[in-house]
Chain A
Amino acid sequence: MKRIIKAFGIVALAAMVLQGCYPKEDLYYADLDVSLTHYDMDYDFSAISGKVCCVLDSVAHLVDEDVTPDDTYNRTIIEQVLENLKASNFDTVYLIKDTTDFITGREPHCVVTLTAWETDYYNYYYYPWGGWGWGWGWYYKSGTLKSNDQADYYYYPYYPWGGSWYYSYSKGTVLVDIVSAEDIEKPGSIDDQIKLPIIWTGALNGLSSSSTSDQTKRIKTQIDQCFTQSPYLFE
């Protein structure tokens, strides 16, 4: 009996000690923010020097069914991306309503799309940007992607270096994609898919806080960080 009591005491003590072994820390929302960038290593970023870049003046929200998108931070995202791009090597940067809305004579070399993920249902990927107008407008077909191999649309993002990372994006992520408009592959037939070559992606991820001012500040900081860690856009 004495031995059993001792053994019980040891187990109880061990349980208490082990419980205390795991690190715990008080964290602010900003402590868990992440900025991620990836780029096409085969793309010559010096080619953007002096060129035109258009930013689509809206943020596409990927949401679960029957969920209303939260547009609170759309302007913050658009304006902060615009500000950073204006400081980059692009000569001219302006907003467009859609991909046919460019100024004649100032056709874009690159187009920037903005996407906010408000769902974790990322295996069903819907690329919201259609109607790429310059030269291939008649191929436009709306619809959503049912699964990875059941495409019901002709426009989808194409990461020339492999797209495994976009499957990792989850709820609370904002994507800034720079598409090389000049490298869009014209399909051989109407049944072929158009590839939209994304040469750079900035992704920001974090937990949603209840303070709008705090969230705005964090979004701005993270967008700035994406550009800061991409010096090739400025060299």
Chain B
Amino acid sequence: MKKYIIIALVLVASTTINAQSLWNLTYDMSVPLGATKDFADKASFRGFGIDGRQFIDKNITIGGAWNWNVFYERREQQYYDVAENVTMHGDQFRTGNYMPFMFNSHYYFGEDGGFRPYIGTGVGTIWKEEIMQVGSVTIQNDNAWQFGLSPEIGLYLPIGNSGFMFWNVKYTYGIATGQLDATSYLNFGVGFGWENF
């Protein structure tokens, strides 16, 4: 797994040293869906991402991205069956950490130097950790790597000589493993970046 992360980071880094590249930072707000919603059913305002892209054509980029999204929910005075004959009661504190590492490719509409909507997708892996505490007792602390996908739409607006503003909506999905359920959430990102960093 480390090998893939290193390749991803090298790919991201490589896009920053050539011409016609984009490098951006995003602040992510996220809405949990599916099994992620079952674990922590509360929108997240804790998220961050770094994305590097290289134009291989006037309308197409390839690159890589890393995000970190944190979901947190406190459920007060809940019952939790640890086993059929073991029951815990107390406030539940649920924290989910999700880190997608994705190779991505995007297609851009519009002209270079202008307002450019785009569509694309990422393929890679997601590191995920889900921790649940009941009161002061940690009763679940699982983590796993999952194969993941992240289709995305967005747009960017060039500002000045080499900067740009950036908005995107990205769906992140990780396939369930034996240890953990599937990951599913929707990102709303806003950020800024540089062309030809």
Interface residues of A (CB under 8 A from B): 3, 6, 10, 13-14, 17-18, 20-23, 25, 31-41, 161, 165, 168, 172, 205-207, 225, 229
B179 at the interface (CB under 8 A from A): no
Give every chain A residue within 8 A of B88 (Cβ-Cβ): 34-36
Asked whether, in the complex, the Cβ of A34 is within 8 Å of the Cβ of B95, the reply is: no
Interface residues of B in 120-138 (CB under 8 A from A): 134-137
23 contacts between A and B (CB under 8 A): A6-B194, A10-B50, A17-B27, A20-B46, A21-B47, A21-B48, A21-B70, A22-B46, A23-B95, A31-B91, A32-B135, A34-B89, A34-B135, A34-B136, A35-B88, A36-B87, A37-B86, A39-B85, A41-B85, A172-B136, A205-B136, A206-B135, A229-B79
A25 and B76 CA atoms in complex are apart in Å by 13
Interface residues of B in 69-93 (CB under 8 A from A): 70, 72, 74, 79, 82-91
Residue from A23, A172, A207, A229 in contact with B72 in the complex, judged by beta carbons closer than 8 Å: A23
B68 at the interface (CB under 8 A from A): yes
Interface residues of B in 135-173 (CB under 8 A from A): 135-137
Give every chain B residue within 8 A of A21 (Cβ-Cβ): 46-48, 68, 70
Asked whether, in the complex, the Cβ of A229 is within 8 Å of the Cβ of B25, the reply is: no
A207 and B85 CA atoms in complex are apart in Å by 25
Asked whether, in the complex, the Cβ of A34 is within 8 Å of the Cβ of B90, the reply is: yes
A165 and B48 CA atoms in complex are apart in Å by 39
Q: Nearest CB to that of A31 among chain B residues?
A: B91
A198 and B134 CA atoms in complex are apart in Å by 24
Asked whether, in the complex, the Cβ of B95 is within 8 Å of the Cβ of A206, the reply is: no
State which size class the interface on B falls in.
20 to 34
* A-B residue pairs, 4 tightest by C-beta: A34-B135, A23-B72, A34-B90, A38-B86
- A9 to nearest B CB, angstroms? 10
A21 and B47 CA atoms in complex are apart in Å by 7
Give every chain B residue within 8 A of A39 (Cβ-Cβ): 85
Q: How many A-B contacts are there with CB distance less than 8 Å?
A: 73
Interface residues of B (CB under 8 A from A): 25, 27, 46-48, 50, 68, 70, 72, 74, 79, 82-91, 95, 134-137, 194, 197
Known contacts: A14-B48, A21-B68. The answer to whether A33 contacts B86 by CB under 8 A is no
Known contacts: A6-B194, A6-B197. The answer to whether A229 contacts B87 by CB under 8 A is yes
Asked whether, in the complex, the Cβ of B25 is within 8 Å of the Cβ of A13, the reply is: yes
Known contacts: A22-B70, A34-B135, A206-B136. The answer to whether A14 contacts B50 by CB under 8 A is yes
A33 and B197 CA atoms in complex are apart in Å by 52
- B127 to nearest A CB, angstroms? 14
Asked whether, in the complex, the Cβ of A205 is within 8 Å of the Cβ of B137, the reply is: yes
Give every chain A residue within 8 A of B136 (Cβ-Cβ): 32, 34, 172, 205-207
Asked whether, in the complex, the Cβ of A34 is within 8 Å of the Cβ of B137, the reply is: yes
- A233 to nearest B CB, angstroms? 13
A35 and B86 CA atoms in complex are apart in Å by 11
Q: Nearest CB to that of B76 among chain A residues?
A: A31
Q: Nearest CB to that of B66 among chain A residues?
A: A14
A172 and B88 CA atoms in complex are apart in Å by 16
A32 and B50 CA atoms in complex are apart in Å by 36
Asked whether, in the complex, the Cβ of A41 is within 8 Å of the Cβ of B79, the reply is: no
Residue from B47, B48, B72, B134 in contact with A34 in the complex, judged by beta carbons closer than 8 Å: B134
Give every chain B residue within 8 A of A17 (Cβ-Cβ): 27, 48
